């Protein structure tokens, strides 16, 4: 650990936005929190008014827990707001800058985007898709993926994007649950120099059975190497070539008039906690939430180039690659491939080449960059960057400071954004022109959002920004959202009971997020991870996150995952799985030193009982550590559902090694 980082952590230092940043910021007046808290409905209505509506709403919000509706009676179209209105006003502005893994690039202006979206929309109509249908999208992270999403929105069909790394079974399960009539795919995508044979996987899914699928629209991009041929496929009667079908369409396709509460998309969550849930989002509220948060959290402006590294298979790609930035008329950078192909500086090369100004990525990536070393970012010019974001997991203070210092050059504000597929848009975050940040804290709720930190009985402290924070030092509890907000999910597709039970039954009338959070004495929120991941050790609540951050602050540790293992006396005992940085050997001496280090940083109560040094950790395909599987390993149980793991072999080999060591 560098000395600067050590000092910063010890000082619990705040980072304030620079006067230059504040002078230009979309939001720089702290009173925004107070006014939004006094009238959240009015606050959101103000943002909705900045979208284009075909017909106004008569009621802003109708909340009958657990159901909320927003902008009732209002009519609009998401594609109109993300494409047409900018194609009319600024036709030559860039909408999408795309770079493929092999290095191919493509830029689409808003005028071009409108033409392409309209053609694909007409193609979907020719294939029989009508308003109210669902379409499943299984594509690599190419411009056509965003185009396909917007084409569905244009004709009023709900899309369900399935991440291109998922298997045939996962695709089949999600496609059938959503009852999608058409699948849009590509022949293949690039990942670490290899072809991901998407069309072949679609064919396997069709073999497994997708009875309601009538057509598959295939974007041919890779050709022979993808190993699939439309003409000779066993499913050739279903397959349609994008080049042919889209190619013959007119670029004139009027936008369907959609009700504010009509379905925009269904997105299945990554499954860190169990069977994937089909999270439903509707049009008006979702667009309002993503539009407002993009403008204020990313401070998005006309001349920005917004690089969100998430795939559109996740909600982050939906909200902050497609809908939020494009609703703002912004320019987004889409990159198809892996961050280490051809070398570990790929992101930095992309930023340098295209002059990206905003970078939004995940802690898992940041920890990998730290492990790879400084030489990679240091050999690229990152001076175009002016803002950095993080999402997906709690970010360890160590990683936050590294990101701020080495990627942001010490000048870029860092926004750590907490939210979920279910919330649609960012809920807890700094506003970069206003909020002094602290490494590791997501800071305050977004204006108009009221968060409570509550105990088992549902009583606790409510936080709605800087004015209303009365932190009780160190108080931790459940994260609860008090008010409905426009972009909240409207439910779980096909499973209303699960929706009510999961989010609204623990604290009736309030949204229970399933995460733990701690409030500090300055009213800052510190996310502790999933409630299931919080340990109860000898009567003390200890978050896996805190112990992991303590471990990661040791120079030998690259990554750590901590779990509570059943213990006769203590209830739970702390077990840690640790990946070492290059150059460190897994000795007993080191294990002892790490235990001492944690005890020193947090207290003796948090000292891990055992530390297991491993080469890899089980992660979801979105890069999150799956602690429930590590609990299965440590407690010697059969492994639970592993279908959403990025690499299921990691956990089975880990289990074998662990059991060998134990015996």
Enumerate binding residues for ligand ATP (CB under 6 A). Answer: 269-273, 276, 314-315, 391-394, 416-418, 420-421, 442, 513-515, 527, 530, 624
Q: Of 276 and 339, which CB lies nearer to ligand ATP in the complex structure? A: 276
Identify the sign of the CA torsion 324, 325, 326, 328: positive
Do 374 and 344 form a contact (C-beta atoms < 8 A)? no
Least distance to ligand ATP from the beta carbon of 115, Å? 33
Least separation, in Å, of the C-beta of 627 and ligand ATP? 11
Torsion of CA 166, 167, 173, 174, to 10 degrees: 20
Closer to ligand ATP by Cβ: residue 275 or 596: 275
Burial 15-50 (b: 16+ CB within 10 A, else e): bebeeebbeebbbbeeebbeebbeebbebbbebbee
Secondary structure of residue 585 in the 3-state scheme: coil
Tell me whether residue 222 or residue 535 sits nearer to ligand ATP (CB atom).
535
**In the complex, what is the shortest distance from the CB of residue 285 to ligand ATP, in angstroms, rounded to a whole number?**
17
Measured from the CB atom, the residue of 101 and 533 that comes closer to ligand ATP is: 533
| Encoded tokens for 319 | 């909200």
Q: Are 57 and 73 in contact (CB under 8 A)?
A: yes
Minimum distance between the CB of residue 417 and ligand ATP, rounded to whole angstroms? 5
Nearer to ligand ATP by Cβ, of 246 and 414: the residue is 414
Give me the least distance between CB of 524 and ligand ATP, in Å please: 13
Residue 526 or residue 612: which is nearer to ligand ATP going by CB?
Answer: 526
Which residue number is nearest to ligand ATP in terms of Cβ? Answer: 269
The CB-of-489 to ligand ATP minimum distance in angstroms stands at: 10
Residue number, 325 or 514, with CB nearest to ligand ATP: 514
Q: Specify the residue, 109 or 272, whose C-beta has the smaller distance to ligand ATP.
A: 272
Tokens found for residue 137: 């999208």
When the beta carbons of 329 and 447 are compared against ligand ATP, the nearer one is 447
Residues whose CB is less than 8 angstroms from the CB of residue 441 and which lie 6 or more positions away in sequence, other chains included: 416, 520, 524, 525, 526
Region of residue 96 (left: phi > 0; alpha: psi -120 to 50; beta: else): beta
Q: 259, 264, 302, 622: which is closest to 425 by C-alpha?
A: 264
Per-residue b or e along 574-585, where b marks 16 or more CB atoms closer than 10 Å to that residue's CB: bbbbbbbeeeee
Shortest separation between residue 619's beta carbon and ligand ATP, angstroms: 11
Q: In terms of CB distance, is 420 or 487 closer to ligand ATP?
A: 420
Residue in this structure with the two tokens 């008090």, named with its chain if needed: 482
Minimum CB separation from ligand ATP for residue 392, in Å?
5
User: Could you tell me the CA-to-CA distances from 600 to 16, 191, 526, 572 in Å, in that order?
Assistant: 29, 42, 20, 20
Least Å from the CB of residue 277 to ligand ATP: 6
Contact 605, 578 (CB under 8 A): no
For the CB of residue 479, give the shortest distance to ligand ATP in the complex, in Å. Answer: 8
Query: Do residues 450 and 441 touch, judged by C-beta distance below 8 A?
Result: no
Spatial contact of 324 and 291, defined as CB atoms under 8 Å apart: yes
């Amino acid at each position: 650990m560098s000395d600067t980082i050590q000092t910063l952590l010890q000082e619990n230092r705040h980072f304030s936005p620079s006067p230059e940043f504040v002078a230009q910021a979309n939001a720089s007046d702290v009173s925004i929190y107070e006014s939004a808290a006094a009238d959240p409905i009015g606050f959101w209505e103000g943002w909705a008014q900045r979208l284009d509506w075909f017909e106004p709403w008569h009621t802003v919000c109708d909340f009958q827990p657990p159901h909320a509706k927003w902008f009732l009676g209002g009519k609009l179209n998401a594609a109109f707001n993300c494409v047409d209105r900018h194609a009319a006003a600024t036709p030559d502005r860039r909408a999408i800058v795309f770079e493929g893994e092999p290095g191919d690039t493509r830029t689409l202006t808003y005028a071009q985007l409108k033409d392409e979206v309209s053609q694909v929309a007409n193609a979907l109509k020719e294939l029989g898709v009508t308003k109210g249908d669902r379409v499943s999208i299984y594509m690599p992270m190419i411009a056509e993926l965003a185009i396909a999403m917007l084409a569905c929105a244009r004709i009023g069909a709900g899309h369900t994007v399935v991440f291109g790394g998922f298997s045939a079974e996962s695709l089949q399960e999600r496609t059938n649950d959503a009852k999608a009539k058409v699948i849009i795919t590509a022949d293949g995508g690039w990942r670490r120099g290899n072809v991901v044979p998407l069309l072949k996987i679609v064919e396997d899914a069709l073999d497994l059975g997708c009875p309601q699928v009538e057509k598959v629209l295939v974007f041919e991009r890779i050709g022979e190497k993808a190993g699939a041929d439309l003409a000779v496929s066993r499913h050739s009667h279903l397959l349609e070539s994008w080049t042919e079908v889209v190619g013959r369409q007119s670029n004139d396709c009027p936008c369907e008039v959609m009700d504010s509460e009509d379905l925009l998309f269904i997105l299945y969550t990554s499954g860190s906690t169990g069977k994937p849930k089909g999270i439903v989002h509707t049009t008006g509220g979702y667009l309002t939430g993503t539009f407002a948060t993009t403008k204020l959290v990313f401070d998005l402006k006309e001349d920005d180039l917004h690089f969100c590294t998430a795939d559109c298979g996740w909600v982050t790609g939906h909200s902050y690659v497609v809908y939020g930035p494009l609703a703002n008329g912004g320019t987004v950078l889409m990159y198809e491939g892996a961050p280490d192909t051809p070398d570990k500086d790929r992101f930095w090369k992309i930023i340098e080449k295209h002059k990206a100004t905003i970078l939004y990525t995940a802690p898992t990536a940041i920890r990998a960059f730290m492990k790879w070393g400084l030489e990679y970012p240091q050999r690229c010019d990152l001076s175009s960057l002016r803002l950095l974001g993080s999402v997906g997991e709690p970010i360890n203070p160590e990683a936050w400071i590294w990101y701020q210092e080495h990627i942001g050059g010490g000048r870029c504000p860092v926004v750590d954004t907490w939210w979920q597929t279910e919330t649609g848009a960012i809920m807890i975050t700094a506003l970069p022109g206003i909020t002094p940040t602290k490494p590791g804290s997501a800071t305050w709720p977004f204006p108009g959002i009221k968060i409570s930190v509550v105990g088992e009985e549902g009583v606790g402290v409510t936080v709605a920004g800087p004015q209303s924070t009365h932190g009780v030092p160190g108080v931790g509890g459940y994260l609860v959202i008090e008010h409905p907000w426009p972009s909240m999910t409207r439910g779980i597709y096909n499973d209303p009971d699960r929706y009510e039970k999961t989010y609204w039954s623990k604290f009736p009338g309030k949204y229970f997020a399933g995460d733990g959070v701690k409030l500090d004495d300055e009213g800052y929120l510190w996310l502790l991870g999933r409630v299931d991941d919080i340990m109860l050790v000898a009567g003390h609540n200890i978050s896996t996150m805190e112990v992991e951050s303590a471990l990661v602050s040791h120079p030998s540790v690259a990554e750590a995952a901590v779990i509570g293992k059943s213990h006769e006396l203590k209830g739970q005992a702390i077990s840690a799985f640790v990946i070492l940085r290059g150059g460190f050997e897994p000795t007993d001496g080191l294990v002892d030193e790490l235990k001492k280090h944690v005890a020193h940083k947090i207290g003796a109560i948090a000292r891990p009982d055992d530390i297991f040094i491993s080469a890899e950790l089980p992660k979801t395909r979105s890069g999150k550590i799956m602690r429930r599987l590590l609990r299965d390993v440590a407690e010697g149980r059969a492994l639970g559902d592993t279908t959403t793991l990025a690499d299921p072999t990691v956990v089975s080999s880990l289990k074998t090694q662990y059991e060998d060591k134990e015996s």
